[in-house]
Structure 1
Amino acid sequence: MTYNQQEFDIRLEWGIRGVEELAPISDVIIIVDILSFSTCVDIATQNGAIIYPYRWKDETAIEYAKTLDAELAGFTRKYSDGYSLSPTSLLNIKPETRLVLPSPNGSTLTLSTKSTPTLCGSLRNAQAVATLAKSYGKKIALITAGEQWPDHTLRVAFEDLIGAGAIISYLTGNLSPESKTGLAIFERVKSNLLVEIENCNSGKELIARGFKNDVLLACDFNVSTNVPVLIANAYVGRRC
């Protein structure tokens, strides 16, 4: 009870423990994983694809995809290997494509929300996600995914806090201090989103690995009116 921000309408927390605290007392959960799960899911579902989140990048993912008669995204982020956690790889995904998307962050959080209505939010669809979220009720929780250190502990990710703040800027209600922090950071950097995210740790890492275009796609603010909604363990797009 101490940690669930229950006295506030708009809540924000990090990682799997955040889901565990906030999901049971919220009308809707918004998963925010800017680089790159949320960006991938928005682009793919906007094109009409169906995305099945999956936590593990191993043999179980292969078997899971077979049970769904679905394609499996590559375990590494490469443009040449078909679909992957690279948003660029999904730009031309065909409608009705069923794709299993392994991700240790965004997928893990998505599959932990259980029966709570779940949306996937990014900078690309911030306003649309906020609009749809309000239709579920007043109690809205944003879960920022963060990244992982080499020992698999949570690394707070600057870009996810910005993404959450962007969505919060379109919400109404009583904000928790955590939500106010996300909003304040977004307001501070919104005029220069691309430069700020290019220079944060996650952005610098992707650019150094040759994936600058993925960062550019993630920073396309409010270009999408699509909202990925989790239905039967799959994200499908809904126009808003």
Structure 2
Amino acid sequence: MPLSPDQPTQQRYEVRFDWGREGLRSIAHGAGVIVVIDAISFTTTVEMGVALGLEVQPYEGLRHEAEVAAAAGEFSDARLAGRRGDPGVSLSPSSMTEQNVADFGASRAVVPSLNGSRLTALAATHGVPVLAASLRNRTAVARWIFDYQQRIGRRAMVAIVAAGETRTDETVRFAVEDLLTAGAVIDALGKVGVDACSPEAAAACAAYTGLERGIRHMFTASVSGGELLNERQGDDIAVAYQTDVSTTVPVLVDGVYVDASAHEVAERVAAMR
């Protein structure tokens, strides 16, 4: 029998996994933490920007809408980041360098993306901590979730949602890089003891552990990787498949991704309970 997007699924499990905005709507019921994954590029870009001290504001609409809003001065002190491949700070994770961030001229970047930013906007409506995960920070994200559970004194259910890629008709295309990154986060959660996985989450984890040694090839040879190579954006792939190189955990506070390690951020996140 077909399920509606709003029908709760995987409710018995501590760690859940699904795809896109429709999947998020079904697994977020009762969740205490939501983990958003858009490996090439949005959540990798967020992690790298936040690690350099930049606040990242996901835009809930499309790129052309963000450009209209920026022209109208709607972003206040924030600045609109460029398109992938534009000079300076942009959607490309490889654009997040110390020099580009220093030259950006604002402490907050508005970053639209077809997948990750819109998925984040929906996740924010659930009123629980929302984290941006990539291969780069997958263990740091898992440890943050474990510590968060200790702070609140209960097992907060974890909804992990992979963005996938959006076709022109708004249907979601399977993205192997998002599947493997989700599996990597689920694997890291298991290692810290957050391991009551749904079958869907367990399958994603098995995909990662089974293919871990070939991650570089999988990212490069995937449909998304091929598209980026054709656009001469291979540097974005190269940073996205780096694993456990960052301890930065971006958490969404008042619609903006910031570093979860900041004391004032921790206090505001605790208030979400």
TM-score range, shorter chain: over 0.9
**Corresponding residue to 1:179 among 194, 201, 214:** 201
Contact conserved, 1:122 with 1:163, CA < 8 A, in 2? yes
- Matched residue, 1:67: 75
Contact conserved, 2:135 with 2:241, CA < 8 A, in 1? yes
Instruction: Return the TM-score normalized by structure 1.
Output: 0.93
- Matched residue, 1:126: 138
**Which stretch shifts more, 12-21 or 42-51?**
12-21
**Which stretch shifts more, 192-201 or 59-68?**
59-68
Aligned residues: 238
- What is the rounded CA distance, in whole Å, between the counterparts of 1:36 and 1:203 in structure 2? 11
> Moved runs in structure 1, 4+ residues, more than 2 A?
59-68
CA displacement 1:83-134 (0-9 Å, x = unmatched): 2211111222239721000012111111112112100000000000111122
- Matched residue, 2:20: 15
Shift of 1:63: 2.2
**Corresponding residue to 1:106 among 103, 110, 116:** 116
CA displacement 1:162-184 (0-9 Å, x = unmatched): 00000001112311011011101
Report the aligned-residue RMSD. Answer: 1.9
| Gap runs ≥5 in structure 2 | 1-5, 150-154, 263-273
Shift of 1:207: 1.1
Matches within 5 A, 1:116-195: 116-134=128-146, 135-136=148-149, 137-171=155-189, 172-195=194-217
Structure whose CA Rg is larger: 2
Which residue identity is paired with 1:208? N
Contact conserved, 1:35 with 1:218, CA < 8 A, in 2? yes
Which residue identity is paired with 2:131? L
| Gap runs ≥5 in structure 1 | none
**Corresponding residue to 1:50 among 49, 55, 58:** 55
- What is the rounded CA distance, in whole Å, between the counterparts of 2:65 and 2:17 in structure 1? 34
